[in-house]
């Protein structure tokens, strides 16, 4: 009896909200077709996939490709390079949009503020190819601006583009140049939501600018920062493949090769579809674990998580 | 285009699906599966594909006569070199693709493949089951990889006889063509053509610079070094500025230095196995010598130090054309009229000559030559209609098609000389309207079909009157170049040309590629490493990397292959007598 009545109630609810469900339908179908269906593609990482044979005829090999990945001499190099680049970005890149947003927030001249915002958004729309080209012109030892300057100062020329020492600096700097301004948007939005009465009250209590920043603005941003940090953890194994491919060469490969470029090389250039799918799946798993862990920790410390 | 059998299978599938009433998302997977199993039938063996095709043909013939078979529809790869003039359309749709569709036996959809990124593009297309039915690719290694992955269709004799009888006749006439197209499983996979061995890479030097500095043409590696040094340091162009390079390390120029030392470990080809005392052995000394030499000219500042960012040699070419570079390795140098024209425009007083590769302690060698009997095409294992693909192949190798794709339309682009050979009416028009479609003609047998007008004879007796000024200037140089490069006394350093190399098992091939790429990085590091990374250290590291990767298995495999096949394989010494050279 109980069961039947639950079913009834459910039916009644569906009938009542049928228009809402109908409106939901396109979204659900979109996710099913474009997000969930393609996920079946990961099965090829457990096969020796051959496009000629297709998904259903290819031979199943279990975890062979994963075993190969972990026993590959390059595995730890890839792991180290990927994680290091992400950690450097977390340390050097992640705080910059926050600081920028706080500085913009302090501007009182609205026209000037908007002008600065527009200017710092622009690099986001410049493609990596152009950025690599600009860097090349600045840094080449054959008449590049920076090296000419070093020469004038009596210093030795530095081959920035072909060195293991400068690769990470170069990569992180380029990311900062391109994305720092764009990254402020979400923080500025959060700041716009702060109740101005709080500032008034603080001023009456005698708080100066720094105190207001410390006790009102930063706490208001805290949950945004935490959420972005959690999302960032999910991307820890990701590096812009196009960006890195443009910077890679024979000399800096030992510090520059990351999982994403490795997938490109073994998958697209050497045609090992299954193996590269296995690498990709491993990468995603690590990302997922990190997101869940970061989310758990955030909730533990009283913050709102992503899910 | 689906054959009736395939149609039947597909409708059956669909009915099953409708009956089972599955949700929309799931059913699309099953339809894909249905298609995959269809193509599998074709891929599994040529015979099966053939049988269904023949049946299809006979079904369609029905009561009517043989000639009314429905027109096939196929897709064909075409290299995109980004050189088609805007008003000619696109590489996939222009006057020549339309010509082929109007005059050929089948409907053809052309699929653009970026010339210098072809492998990534092909792999993407193959992975998504949308690769063209007829694949054109120069890279033997890549065709081999496709074979190993079972993505190529074995071409059955019966199918050939039915749909490409002329190609079949050629195979009978030139058994070597069949031999090199046949893979380890004994079946024919690759299509190609018999042509002529001609110069490809050319080592050019600025003769006017040599004269200005009173230098002879360098004969040895040491003389080449001194010449490059003089070019870089003694202001050969007399403009009072220190703005010239002696040589270049990028792309073909760098390969020239490798070949000079007989070292087949270049950015493009990595085959460091050489026949020594009746064995095929892995040699490290040639690589070491070439790397030392490159390091020396790099340290001396005779080259653009940014060579690593110039992987396609564009910067070197620019320096050469602008008169900043004294010695240059040119890819397809005797055909690159644009390069020559630009060089002469910028430097009207320039005089360039091809020179032989200087002699090294390992002997004297030639730079890369074109392959006389070459493989350029293969059929996709999932081609729906292999018969139609072969019909297109048969059409391509007709002398009329070849002439059209080489010279254009008679009366519009070319006329005939007394000896019947085609000659361009207007070189400018020919350049504009024909300068981009040469890759449609990758399967031409014109040297065999018409040795009077093509091949060595035509190469050595260019008809200057039909050529533009620049083309005529370049054509004069190629006569010397041919004598310098195409002869058995200065052989290619490879043990054989890429098209004639055996194919390794897939696991060995992967090991080989990865290990050799790692070693390539070590060589580069040695070149730019200054005193902190010596060549000796690099050789030790390279050998260690090779051992660690299990390279010994590859060395053993080569050794064994050579011992088992040395009597029958086409080796470099045989190549010079293969065709009419």
Residue B120 with chain A: CB contacts under 8 Å: 264, 268-269
Residue in the structure block whose two tokens are 């007829």: B134
| Packed helices B551-565 and B506-528: angle between N→C axes, nearest 10 degrees | 120
Tens digit of pLDDT for each residue in B68-79? 568 999 999 999
The answer to whether residue A83 scores a pLDDT higher than 60 is yes
CA distance B254 to chain A (A): 15
β-bridge partners, A271: none
The angle subtended at Cα B294 by Cα A169 and Cα B308, nearest 5°, is 35
Residue B528 with chain A: CB contacts under 8 Å: 159, 162, 251
Tens digit of pLDDT for each residue in A252-291? 888 999 999 999 888 888 888 899 999 999 999 999 999 9
Select from A32, A162, A271 the Cβ nearest to the Cβ of B528.
Answer: A162
Residue B36 with chain A: CB contacts under 8 Å: 53-57
pLDDT value of position B56:
40
Q: B117 falls in which pLDDT band (50, 70, 90)?
A: confident
The answer to whether residue A2 scores a pLDDT higher than 80 is no
Please tell me the pTM assigned to this model. 0.79
Does residue A52 lie in a domain region?
no
Instruction: Please judge whether B25 and A32 are an interchain contact, meaning their C-beta atoms are less than 8 angstroms apart.
Output: yes
Q: What DSSP line would sit under B52-81, residue for residue?
A: HHHHHHHHHHTTS-GGGPPPPEEEEEEEE-
Number of structural domains (chain A) is 1
Does residue A106 lie in a domain region?
yes
pLDDT value of position B58:
40
> Which backbone phi and psi does B206 adopt, to 5 degrees?
-80, 100
Residue B129 with chain A: CB contacts under 8 Å: 51, 54
B127 touches chain A (CB under 8 A): yes
Q: B36 falls in which pLDDT band (50, 70, 90)?
A: very low
Mean pLDDT of all residues in B298-315? 90
More confident residue, B455 or B121: B121
Does residue A20 lie in a domain region?
no
Q: B255 falls in which pLDDT band (50, 70, 90)?
A: very high
Within its chain, how far is the Cα of A245 from the centroid? 17
Instruction: Please judge whether B25 and A270 are an interchain contact, meaning their C-beta atoms are less than 8 angstroms apart.
Output: no
Q: Which CATH number do you get for residue A83? A: 1.10.3720.10
Q: Which domain holds residue A220?
A: 73-300
Alpha helices in A2-126 (DSSP H): 2-16, 18-31, 54-57, 64-71, 75-88, 95-106, 110-121
Contact B438, B372 (CB under 8 A): no
Helix (H/G/I), strand (E/B), else coil: B383 = coil
Does residue A191 lie in a domain region?
yes
Does residue A259 lie in a domain region?
yes
CATH number of B202-368+491-575: 3.40.190.10
Tens digit of pLDDT for each residue in B559-570? 999 999 999 899
More confident residue, B15 or A28: A28
Parse chain B into domains and list their residue ranges.
1-70, 202-368+491-575
pLDDT value of position B350:
94
Least confident of B123-127, B204-208, B309-313, B576-580: B576-580
Residue B306 with chain A: CB contacts under 8 Å: 140-142, 161
Does residue A140 lie in a domain region?
yes
Does residue A275 lie in a domain region?
yes
Q: Which of B331, B323, B341 is nearest to B431 (CA)?
A: B341
How many whole angstroms separate alpha carbon A53 and alpha carbon A49?
8
Q: B451 falls in which pLDDT band (50, 70, 90)?
A: confident
The answer to whether residue B169 scores a pLDDT higher than 60 is yes
pLDDT value of position B580:
55
The answer to whether residue B31 scores a pLDDT higher than 90 is no
User: Among all residues of chain A, which has the CA nearest to that of B548?
Assistant: A73
């Amino acid at each position: 009896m109980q069961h039947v009545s639950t079913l009834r109630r459910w039916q009644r609810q569906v009938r009542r909200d049928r228009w809402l469900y109908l409106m939901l339908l396109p979204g659900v179908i979109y996710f099913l077709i474009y997000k969930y269906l393609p996920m079946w593609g990961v099965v090829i990482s457990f096969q020796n996939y051959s496009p000629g044979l297709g998904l259903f005829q290819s031979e199943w090999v279990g975890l062979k490709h994963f075993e190969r990945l972990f026993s590959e001499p390059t595995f730890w190099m890839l792991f180290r390079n990927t994680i290091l680049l992400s950690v450097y970005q977390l340390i050097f890149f992640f705080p910059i949009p926050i600081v920028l947003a706080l500085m913009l927030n302090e501007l009182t001249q609205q026209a000037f503020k908007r002008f600065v915002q527009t200017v710092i958004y622009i690099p986001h729309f410049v493609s990596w190819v152009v950025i690599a080209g600009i860097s090349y012109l600045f840094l080449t030892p054959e008449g590049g601006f920076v090296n000419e300057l070093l020469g004038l100062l009596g210093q030795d020329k530095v081959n920035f583009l072909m060195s293991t020492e400068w690769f990470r600096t170069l990569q992180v700097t380029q990311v900062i140049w391109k994305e720092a301004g764009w990254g402020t948007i979400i923080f500025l939005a959060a700041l716009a939501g702060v109740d101005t009465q709080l500032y008034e009250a603080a001023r009456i209590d005698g708080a100066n600018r720094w105190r207001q920043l410390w006790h009102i603005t930063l706490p208001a941003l805290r949950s945004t920062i935490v959420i972005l940090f959690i999302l960032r953890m999910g991307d820890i194994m990701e590096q812009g493949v196009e960006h890195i491919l443009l910077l890679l060469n024979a000399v800096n490969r030992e510090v520059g090769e990351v999982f994403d470029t490795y997938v490109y090389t073994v998958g697209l250039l050497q045609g090992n579809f299954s193996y590269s799918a296995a690498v990709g799946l491993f990468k995603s798993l690590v990302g997922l674990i990190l997101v869940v862990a970061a989310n758990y920790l955030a909730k533990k410390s009283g913050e709102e998580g992503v899910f | 285009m689906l054959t009736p059998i395939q149609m039947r299978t597909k409708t059956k599938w669909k009915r099953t699906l409708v009956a089972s009433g599955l949700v929309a998302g799931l059913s699309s997977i099953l339809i894909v599966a249905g298609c995959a199993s269809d193509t599998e039938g074709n891929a599994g063996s040529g015979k099966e594909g053939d049988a269904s095709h023949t049946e299809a043909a006979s079904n369609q013939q029905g009561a009517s006569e043989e000639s009314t078979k429905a027109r096939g529809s196929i897709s064909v790869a075409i290299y995109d070199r980004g050189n088609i003039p805007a008003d000619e359309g696109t590489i996939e749709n222009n006057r020549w693709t339309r010509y082929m569709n109007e005059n050929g036996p089948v409907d053809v959809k052309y699929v653009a493949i970026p010339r210098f990124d072809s492998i990534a593009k092909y792999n993407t297309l193959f992975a998504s089951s949308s690769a063209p039915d007829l694949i054109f690719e120069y890279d033997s290694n890549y065709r081999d990889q496709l074979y190993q992955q079972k993505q190529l269709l074995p071409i059955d004799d019966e199918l050939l006889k039915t749909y490409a009888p002329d190609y079949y006749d050629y195979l009978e006439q030139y058994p070597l063509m069949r031999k090199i197209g046949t893979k380890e499983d004994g079946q024919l996979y690759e299509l190609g053509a018999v042509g002529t061995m001609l110069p490809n890479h050319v080592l050019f030097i600025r003769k006017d610079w040599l004269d200005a500095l009173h230098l002879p043409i360098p004969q040895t590696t040491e003389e080449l070094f001194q010449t490059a040094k003089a070019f870089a340091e003694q202001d050969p162009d007399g403009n009072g500025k220190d703005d010239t390079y002696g040589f270049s390390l990028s792309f073909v120029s760098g390969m020239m230095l490798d070949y000079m030392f007989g070292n087949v470990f270049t950015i493009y080809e990595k085959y460091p196995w050489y026949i020594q005392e009746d064995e095929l052995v892995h040699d490290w000394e040639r690589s070491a010598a070439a790397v030392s030499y490159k390091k020396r000219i790099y340290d001396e500042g005779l080259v653009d130090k940014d060579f690593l960012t110039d992987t396609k040699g564009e910067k070197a070419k620019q320096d050469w054309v602008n008169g900043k570079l004294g010695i240059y390795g040119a890819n397809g140098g005797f055909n690159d009229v644009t390069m020559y024209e630009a060089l002469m425009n910028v430097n009207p007083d320039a005089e360039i000559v091809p020179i032989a590769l200087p002699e090294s302690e390992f002997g004297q060698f030639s730079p890369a030559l074109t392959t006389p009997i070459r493989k350029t095409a293969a059929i996709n294992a999932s081609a729906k209609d292999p018969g139609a693909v072969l019909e297109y192949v048969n059409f391509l190798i007709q002398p009329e098609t070849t002439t059209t794709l080489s010279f254009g339309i008679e009366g519009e682009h070319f006329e005939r000389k007394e000896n019947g050979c085609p000659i361009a009416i207007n070189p400018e028009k020919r350049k504009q309207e024909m300068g981009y479609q040469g890759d449609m003609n990758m399967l031409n047998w014109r040297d065999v079909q018409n040795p009077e007008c093509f091949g060595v004879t035509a190469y050595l007796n260019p008809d200057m009157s039909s050529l533009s000024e620049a083309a005529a200037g370049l054509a004069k140089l190629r006569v010397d170049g041919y004598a310098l490069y195409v002869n058995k006394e200065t052989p290619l350093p490879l043990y054989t040309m890429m098209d004639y190399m055996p194919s390794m098992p897939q696991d060995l091939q992967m090991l080989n590629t990865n290990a050799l790429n790692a070693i390539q990085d070590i060589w580069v590091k040695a070149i730019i490493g200054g005193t902190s990374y010596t060549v000796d250290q690099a050789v030790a590291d390279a050998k260690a990397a090779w051992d660690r990767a299990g390279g010994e298995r590859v060395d053993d495999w080569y050794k064994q292959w050579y011992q088992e096949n040395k009597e029958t394989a086409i080796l470099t010494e045989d190549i010079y007598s293969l065709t009419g050279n």
